[in-house]
A and B are shown apart, each in its own frame.
Chain A
Amino acid sequence: MTDRADVKTRIFGLIEQFNKKGIDVSEETRFAQDLEWESLTVLDFVAEVEDEFDILITMNQQAEIEKVGQLVDAVAEMVG
């Protein structure tokens, strides 16, 4: 069983690898507007999250996720 806090720690760690502009990240941080990732960066980041937790995140699910906290919730639910 992976709890939400553990998921959050691991996701924040993954974000850090892609956070080239050194933006302060919180659960309210928005992927598109705040982190300004290009589509290829998003693809690579999602692949890292999928590999980390051995899950699939579909494009439909991605479209629903705007903020970091929403991703933590979605992943915690998938692995919980």
Chain B
Amino acid sequence: MSGTGADLKAPETQSGDLFDKFQPLIDTREKLLSTGVTDPFSLVMEKVLSPTVAICNGRETILLGTYNYMGMTFDPDVIAAGKKALDEFGSGTTGSRVLNGTYSLHKDCEDALKEFFGTEHAMVFSTGYLANTGIISTIAGKDDYIILDIDSHASIYDGCAMGDANVVPFRHNDIEALEKRLKRLPEGAGKLVILEGVYSMLGDAAPLSEMVPLCKKYGAMVLVDEAHSMGFIGENGRGVAEEQGVFDQCDFIIGTFSKSVGTVGGYCVSNHPKFEIMRLVSRGYVFTASLPPSVMATAATSIRKIMDAKYKREHLWKNSKRLHKSLTDLGFELGTKEPQSAIISVIMPDLERGAMMWEALLREGLYVNLARPPATPAGMTLLRCSLCALHSDEQVTEIIGMFERAGKATGCI
């Protein structure tokens, strides 16, 4: 008997090939690579030296395209907690949270979240994607209404689709457009408004201080995704809702461990009195394996440390303001007029020029994210820079010099 794998052959191209729908994307990618640029979506980090430096393509490279906002990935306490958990609890749980997959460290991580946000409830999911799909699809179903910002993350859209709710988008950060839709919702219908603290593509913050009270005025529940603001924005690092004084009016805050916390996982915190039922009814929580205990130990340690990271927050804001001003002065067009987060997006004229600039920066020894449609708003190509609290002043100076040289070499400035 032959192995099943050996029998798999590449099929002859035939009509009804399910891959035909990907052809435009295949063509775009091949056209881009035919210009001789390095494939921007196949970068491999050969060695990671610190939260801000790695060896990429054999060269020491400053990392400006990670979401390691608070620089926690190499924190000695975080690593020690992970190692200890690995020794004591093994490599993984092999099961769902509602069966054999809840260890004491999962509960401790949820306690850390409750301490961090000051909420009654916290629920850990295996990724941020699962947190959004798992919560949104469960709380808003058929006949309910979801109003969301058009620039919402894919996981929010997917959560809406999975729940079969009536979904109404409004123009990005447009308060008037939001109110018009709230006014038109049927009386008595279930209403959920989904907003993000910081929108990841342009790095701009939402006007939550106006939007959240508006939602409450029209009787809607509010879910805010603070994935790109946790740790960095707000007095206690709770995000944009905290900074703008509306945290207590939000029904659900969703976030991730793969950014400021520096590991992997997702969460939802809430003060809703019936929130705990989510553990039994959310399919994204029930029907997936729980995170390894070592991940929970690193997350819990990191969360508790970033609660008190006031100095890091100040340094990160300093970096953000300085890089934003310097790139603007050099003549680059940025996604926001003022720095609003740790993300600084540089708008490129087109995908080809964006890829050239991305490669020129990589040759200089700087890694940033190349973002293109459909992930980006309005068909833009962006070079997305994400600052880390551990970028030194000297590194920021180097980064500015690299942008200047690469920008001139590629004709972007």
List the interface of chain B (C-beta within 8 A of A).
Answer: 145, 150, 160, 166-171, 177, 180-181, 184-185, 377-379
Question: Which residues of A are interface residues toward B (Cβ below 8 A)?
Answer: 38, 40, 43-44, 47, 50-51, 54-60
The answer to whether B167 touches A59, judged by C-beta atoms less than 8 angstroms apart, is yes
In angstroms, Cα B379 to Cα A38, docked, is 8
CB pair A60–B166 under 8 Å, yes or no, is yes
Residue pair A58, B184 in contact (C-beta under 8 Å): no
CA distance A57 to B177 in the complex (A): 13
**Which of A40, A55, A58 contacts B166 (CB under 8 A)?**
A58
B378 close to A40 (CB less than 8 A)? yes
Question: What separation, in Å, do the CA atoms of A58 and B181 have in the docked complex?
Answer: 10
**Residue contact A54 to B184, C-beta cutoff 8 Å:** yes
Q: A56-B145, A58-B145 are in contact. List 7 more A-B contacts (CB 8 A).
A: A38-B378, A38-B379, A40-B377, A56-B166, A56-B184, A58-B166, A60-B167
Known A38-B379, A43-B171: A56·B177 in contact at CB below 8 Å: no
Cβ-closest chain A residue relative to B170: A47
From known contacts A43-B150, A43-B171, A47-B171, infer whether A56 and B181 are also in contact, taking CB-CB under 8 Å: yes
- Give chain A nearest CB distance to B191 CB in angstroms: 12
A58 to B186, CA, bound (A): 13
* Distance A50 CA – B166 CA, assembled complex (angstroms): 15
CA of A40 to CA of B160 in the docked complex: distance in angstroms? 19
State the Cβ distance, B192 to closest chain A Cβ, in Å. 13
Docked Cα-Cα span, A47 to B177, in Å, equals: 8
B378 touches A55 (CB 8 A): no
Which of A38, A43, A58 is close to B167, meaning CB atoms less than 8 Å apart?
A: A58
Q: Report A-chain residues with C-beta under 8 Å of the C-beta of B150.
A: 40, 43
Q: From residue B153, how far is it (CB to closest CB) to chain A in Å?
A: 15
Nearest Cβ on chain A to B111's Cβ, whole angstroms: 38
Q: How far is the CA of A43 from the CA of B341 in the complex (A)?
A: 27
A54, B166: Cα distance in complex, Å: 17
- Residues of B near A40 (CB, < 8 A) are 150, 377-379
Q: Which of A40, A56, A58, A60 has the most chain B CB within a 10 Å cutoff? A: A56
Q: How many Å lie between the Cα of A51 and that of B181 in the bound state? A: 9
Closest to B374 in A: A39
CA distance A40 to B379 in the complex (A): 9
Residues of A within 8 A of B145 (CB): 56, 58
- When distances are taken between beta carbons in the complex, the residues of chain A under 8 Å from B171 are 43-44, 47
> Could you pull out 20 A-B pairs where Cβ atoms are within 8 angstroms?
A40-B150, A40-B377, A40-B379, A43-B150, A43-B169, A43-B171, A44-B171, A47-B171, A50-B180, A50-B184, A54-B184, A55-B184, A56-B145, A57-B168, A58-B145, A58-B166, A58-B167, A58-B168, A59-B169, A60-B167
* A44 neighbours in B (Cβ, 8 Å): 171
Min CB gap B318→A, angstroms: 35
A59 and B377 form a contact (CB under 8 A): no
Looking across the interface, which residue of chain B has its beta carbon closest to that of A41?
B378
Write out the residue numbers on chain B whose beta carbons fall within 8 Å of the beta carbon of A43.
150, 169, 171
With A and B bound together, what is the CA distance between A40 and B257 in angstroms? 31
Query: In the complex, which of the residues A54, A58, A59, A60 has the most CB atoms of chain B within 10 Å of its own CB atom?
Result: A59
Q: Bound state CA distance, A60 and B163, in angstroms?
A: 12
Q: From residue B371, how far is it (CB to closest CB) to chain A in Å? A: 16
Q: With contacts A50-B180, A50-B184 known, is A56 near B379, CB below 8 A?
A: no
The 6 closest A-B pairs by CB, nearest first: A58-B166, A59-B167, A56-B184, A40-B378, A58-B168, A56-B168
- How many Å lie between the Cα of A50 and that of B150 in the bound state? 16
Contacts of B170 on A, CB cut-off 8 Å?
47
B338 → A minimal CB distance (Å): 23
Complex contacts, B184 vs chain A, CB 8 Å: 50, 54-56
Residues of A with C-beta under 8 A to B180: 50-51
How long is the Cα–Cα vector from A50 to B378 in the complex, in angstroms? Answer: 21
Contacts of A57 in B (CB 8 A): 168
Distance in Å: Cβ of B157 to nearest Cβ of chain A = 9
B148 (CB) vs chain A CBs: closest residue: A59
Q: Which residue on B lies nearest to A61, using beta carbons?
A: B166
Query: Which A residues are CB-close (under 8 A) to B181?
Result: 50, 56
A51 to B171, CA, bound (A): 13
Question: In whole angstroms, what is the CA distance A16 to B102 when docked?
Answer: 59
Q: Residue of B at shortest CB range from A38?
A: B379
Q: Which residues of A contact B185 (CB under 8 A)?
A: 56
